[in-house]
Structure formats: C-alpha cells, structure tokens
Chains A and B, each alone.
Chain A
C-alpha cells in the first residue's frame, strides 16, 4: 500500500524525523489559510502516487498570497499521468545547502533489511546507482538487532556526509529505520534528505509503502493511501476480498491462484489476445465468490469475452459451476464465456454447466484451447463446442 507524500511525512514525524510544518488541503481557500499558518514562502505540492510531479508542474514555490492562489488553483484538479490531483500539501519552503538520499527496504535476496544512503540526492537514485555506484552506500542490517546509532554514523561517513551533519544524518537513518520497522513498511525512502544552511537534517519528500498484510497491527494506518485515485473496480474488489488488477485489454479473466491467473494472462496474450484484468478468486472460492467475480469482470465495459480458467485443488469445480449458473441467472451477460474446469470435482462441474445450457458459454478442454477460443470470440469470430 503506497502512501502519499504528506501521509509518509506524518509517519516520519511520529518517529522523530524532522519534516517541515505543513498542511494537506483540497481547496484553494484552504491552501491560502494553510500558507498563512506555515508562513511564506511556501511550496505547493501535488499529492499523487506517481513520479515526475515536478516536471509536470505539480510542485511550485509561492512567495506570497497571489502566487499561492495561482499555483494551488493550477495544481488542484491537474492530471499527472492519469492521476488527478485532489490534495495539495502546503509547507514552509526550506533553504537547502545539500540534498542527500536515504532509504530502508526489505532486500528479498539477502533476506535482510537494507539501508541505502547517498550524498547525491534530489535526483533519480537509479541513475546514481548506475552511473556512480560507489556514491550509493548499501548497508545490510541485522534484522534481529536493528540499526544502531553507531551504524548510522558509519553509513553517513562512508557516504561522505559533511562532518558537521554526520550525527544528524545518523539520527535520520535510525528514525527512518524505526518508521520502516514499527509501521510495517516494505519501503521508506527520503529523496531529498536535505541539509539546511542552519545544518539541520530534514526530510523534504517521502515515499512509503506499507505491508497490507500487517495493517491489522496498525488501525491508525488503515485509512491511508490514495483512495480517490484508486480504480473504482479495484476498490470494490478489495472490499469483496478478491485479488483484482485492472488491465487495458478486452478479455476478462477469472482464475484461482495467483500463479495460474498470471499464467492465464500470458497464455491469452500468447494467443494474440489482450487481458482486461487479473482476477484471482482464491483457493477454496465458493459459488458466491464466483458470482461476485463475474459481476466485477463485467462491470468493465471494455470486456468483450470472458475466460474462466480453474484448476481446482481446495476449490471445487462443482462450486464454480454453481457460481457461474447463479451469476448468469442474475446478471445475464451479453458477452461470450469460455470455461475450462479441471481438478477437484471437475466431472460434476462440467455436468452441471452442461445441464444448465447457459447461453453463449463454451467449454474448453485445456488452457491453451481455452485461450485460443476466447481470443477468437473477443474478435467476434464464432467457435464450436458450446457447453
């Protein structure tokens, strides 16, 4: 779960990381009130979960009220790569002497937390890593011991931080590690981590991803993330407990198990089709789940045909068939379906579907055959083998 900049900064502040005082607002009027409160000059920053805000004109400095009014007016409602700006963060502008970079993340390969630090902040860190890898310090932390202040000092020194801010950088790194650990984050990043002319070390930006599986430990974080810009179908799926990702194609996909569904997307693409979604109905999905899933897929108007690909282990094919029959009874889909059922109770599932004689539902024997059929149907061609 990715957080907006201001939400990340609120977590930072909770753990003692220095950030500029600011306010998140959604109207020009509130932006002006906020600017008065934090004091000019202020920075007006678009709150969207996409990089390149600055280049898109989503971050502006305002010296006075008329500039703040102009920038807030322009930025609110602005579209940045498909994300509509609904919130701006107003903070007091900081004077900057140096721009550093700091992050803590889970290194899956080493199976340890990884702290990264560079004095080359404020730019795309991937570029720094590529062009001057020696300027990006990577330090693995003992997951059971945590990050000590001494380690933080060593990282700051190794990275070439100015002598007089080594302690300040170490404090920031320890606090950032605490954010990562105690908030159950998978990533906590600051770019830039600035040094002010007064030699204060401050987080000017934030990028935080929280682990959705750990939200039960953090009720206060449950309302975070960018709800307004979430795809409405993806939000609905989340509420219904379905794993759903919207894609750009026209073939609806319903399967069970993340790996099999990913594989189904690949096989459909391989056959020349374009999937409209990823939908994992999960292990043990019952008739009700299947009905909800069909409903969700068909809520996407781009869908021209649907492939149901089930290899049942915990799931039972007869339950899937009953769910499809129930869904057809209520929704009466206008697009063709291809159904491939294999695994637990597959014979019974196919028998139920055959007896129901659902309109425009085709049965396929294998995954490859199913993919070819659904691609043909989406293209408006006819196929044989009606279930």
Chain B
C-alpha cells in the first residue's frame, strides 16, 4: 500500500497547457501515473500529447472521472481552480502553485471545511495537499507533482515534509542506505496548508506498508508541535524528525512564506524540544535524521 496516490489514481491537471504544466504532467505520465485529462478554460477539445483538455472541472469529471487533481495554474487563479475541482467532486487536490496570497489560502481552507470536505477520513469529500508543495510520490506506483522519482525507491518509510528539496536530500540518504519509501508527501511551506503533518501522519499510521515515518519540518507556525502531541497520543509507528532553521534570525522570512519566526514561538529549537519531549528522535542534520531512521529500521528488520 501507500498513501493518497497509487495505481488507482486518475489524474487531471489544471494548467496542463502551460509550459511547466505540460512538462510535469508528461513526467508524471512517463512514471506510470494514469493521467486522464487536463483543465484549461477556453481550450476544451484540445489535447496535450493525447491527454484530453476540458474547459471546466465539471466537464472533466463527467467525461474522464478523475479522482486526483493537480493544480499548476498561476497564483491568482489557483484558489478558484482548487475550489472548482473540489466542487466537482475530485477527492484529492494537489496544489503545486507557489505564491498564492495567504488570504486566498484561508478562504480555500475554510470553504472546503464549510462544504464538508474534511482532511480527515477518506471518502468524506476533498482533501487538499499544498499549496506551494512538491506533490506526492508513491514509488513504483504513481507520481503527482514535481518530486524527482529517480532518487527514491519503493519501501516502508513514509516521508512528510514542508520543504521540497530537503525531502529529496533526506529521501536520497535513506535510499543510499538501502531503504525505500511507501509515499513521500510534501505538505508545502505556506502559512495555511490544506493538510497538516497530523493529517498525513494519520494516513501513514493506517498504512500497512509504512513502518516508520520521517517528518521534515522547519521554522514558523506550530505544526510540528501539534504533530508531537499527535504522535504521542496516536502513533504506534516510530517517527524520526528533522527541523530546518536552527540558525535563522527572528523576524526574517526564509524563502517559504511560512518560514518566519516571530517572538519566541516557532523556533527550530522549540520544535525539536517539543518533539523530543514526546519521544520523537530529532536529527540535527538531514544526514543524522536519515541515519537515525536507518538505525531504527535496521533494528526492526533484524527483529522481524
């Protein structure tokens, strides 16, 4: 198994006709993902390398029944594209778009919530992953987004991360040590992500193929602290963490819109402390986090 995407994924892409959208859609298809369509208003009836393009999400849903949407449109159109895909009944929306205004993200999150799309249980409406995220990869099964699949192998480590490239770094170190991943989920670095660490941890806990989870966090907000609480109360599987931004100065935005420390909360030290207080081992470098994961897995496979 894996989480969120697999062989049953039917992907439809908003922004498929854009340069980046086309490139990554075809990449995803080459990996083996079942790409059933694309949506670009005004370009319905066209096709991208044989993938049919529709004017609206309603059209796409009625004609090719996608269960997963990928959002690749510019920031100013992204909020409406997400809501339109959800309204059309697509179960999973993965928003890659970077630079969406925070107020739009707030509106999207609360509209999905109001309309009964909870991020919790499967089959209860639309789940949003991202925005400003690299997407999801279930090695050997499906790839939705921009994660370079060649650095990951199929296996039993679940990875959930706020950062893209940092995920590649950690995942690759795990792969070099001979281990693979069940799924890699990028939740994004923005202030109001559709899904949080807790939402994805819940999925990994329920996934038979995941034996251990690597959580990669960063400064800003309190999602890591909330994850620590959740892990202590609800997770039977081991979780290893890494937090980026120990040396980030307060009050400065470090690239990600969410990565800004204000006041005393949200620091990397506070997050590492919160996680360690709940028994989660935290690597001080990505290499150390991967090494801890490998150590734990090594022990697990010997005892198995």
- Contact A217 B259, CB 8 Å, known A143-B107, A258-B189, A262-B245: no
In the complex, what residues of A have CB within 8 A of residue B192's CB?
A: 106, 108, 111
In the complex, what residues of A have CB within 8 A of residue B226's CB?
A: 109
User: What are the interface flags for B221-257 relative to A under an 8 Å C-beta threshold, 1 for contact and 0 otherwise?
Assistant: 1110010000000000000001011111100111111
Complex Cα spacing A168 to B111, Å: 31
B102's closest neighbor in chain A, by CB?
A211
* Contact yes or no, B101 A211, CB < 8 A: yes
B287's closest neighbor in chain A, by CB?
A368
* B-contacting residues, A247-278, CB 8 Å: 247, 255-263, 265-267, 269-270, 275, 278
Complex Cα spacing A15 to B147, Å: 44
* Contact yes or no, A257 B246, CB < 8 A: no
In the complex, what residues of B have CB within 8 A of residue A245's CB?
A: 249, 252-254
* A-contacting residues, B246-286, CB 8 Å: 246-249, 252-259, 263, 268, 284-286
Contact with A109, one of B20, B110, B134, B221 (Cβ below 8 angstroms): B221
* Contact yes or no, A213 B99, CB < 8 A: yes
Contact with A269, one of B134, B172, B223, B246 (Cβ below 8 angstroms): B246
B57 within 8 A of A: no
A98 within 8 A of B: no
In the complex, what residues of B have CB within 8 A of residue A260's CB?
A: 163, 165-166, 168-169, 244
In angstroms, how far is the closest chain B Cβ from the Cβ of A252? 15
- Contact A262 B255, CB 8 Å, known A213-B75, A269-B247, A342-B172: yes
* Contact yes or no, B168 A113, CB < 8 A: no
* Contact yes or no, B245 A266, CB < 8 A: yes
B186's closest neighbor in chain A, by CB?
A259
B28 within 8 A of A: no
Complex Cα spacing A111 to B105, Å: 9
In angstroms, how far is the closest chain A Cβ from the Cβ of B212? 20
In angstroms, how far is the closest chain B Cβ from the Cβ of A230? 13
In angstroms, how far is the closest chain A Cβ from the Cβ of B302? 26
* B-contacting residues, A107-134, CB 8 Å: 108-109, 111-113, 126
B289's closest neighbor in chain A, by CB?
A263
In angstroms, how far is the closest chain B Cβ from the Cβ of A322? 19
B176's closest neighbor in chain A, by CB?
A366
Choose among B103, B106, B161, B172 the residue with the greatest number of A CB atoms under 10 Å from its CB. Answer: B103
A27 within 8 A of B: no
Contact with A258, one of B99, B103, B256 (Cβ below 8 angstroms): B256
In the complex, what residues of A have CB within 8 A of residue B100's CB?
A: 213
B150's closest neighbor in chain A, by CB?
A344
* Contact yes or no, B110 A259, CB < 8 A: no
B66 within 8 A of A: no
B219 within 8 A of A: yes
User: What are the interface flags for B8-24 relative to A under an 8 Å C-beta threshold, 1 for contact and 0 otherwise?
Assistant: 00000000000010000
Q: How many A-B residue pairs have CB under 8 A?
A: 167
In the complex, what residues of B have CB within 8 A of residue A342's CB?
A: 169, 172
Contact with B246, one of A213, A216, A266, A343 (Cβ below 8 angstroms): A266
B164 within 8 A of A: yes
* Contact yes or no, B222 A313, CB < 8 A: no
Q: Count residues of chain A with CB under 8 A from any CB of chain B.
A: 50
B162 within 8 A of A: yes
* B-contacting residues, A342-369, CB 8 Å: 342-344, 366-368
Contact with B255, one of A108, A280, A313 (Cβ below 8 angstroms): A280
In angstroms, how far is the closest chain B Cβ from the Cβ of A210? 10
* Contact yes or no, B101 A184, CB < 8 A: yes
Contact with B103, one of A214, A269, A368 (Cβ below 8 angstroms): A214
B76's closest neighbor in chain A, by CB?
A216
Complex Cα spacing A214 to B109, Å: 17
In the complex, what residues of B have CB within 8 A of residue A263's CB?
A: 163, 166, 169, 242, 244-245, 285-286
* Contact yes or no, A257 B164, CB < 8 A: yes
Complex Cα spacing A144 to B192, Å: 15
- Contact A275 B222, CB 8 Å, known A144-B111, A256-B165, A261-B254: no
A369's closest neighbor in chain B, by CB?
B287
In the complex, what residues of B have CB within 8 A of residue A111's CB?
A: 106, 109-110, 192
* Contact yes or no, A259 B218, CB < 8 A: yes
In angstroms, how far is the closest chain B Cβ from the Cβ of A211? 5
B2 within 8 A of A: no
B151 within 8 A of A: yes
Given contacts A267-B286, A275-B247, 10 further A-B contacts (CB under 8 A): A184-B101, A214-B102, A259-B189, A263-B166, A263-B242, A263-B245, A266-B284, A267-B285, A313-B164, A343-B172
Sorted nearest first, the 9 A-B pairs with minimum C-beta distance are: A259-B163, A258-B255, A257-B165, A259-B166, A214-B101, A260-B165, A262-B244, A263-B244, A280-B255
Interchain Cβ contacts under 8 Å between A and B, 17 examples = A106-B102, A106-B191, A106-B192, A211-B257, A213-B99, A245-B254, A257-B163, A258-B218, A258-B254, A260-B165, A260-B168, A270-B284, A270-B285, A275-B247, A278-B248, A311-B168, A368-B285
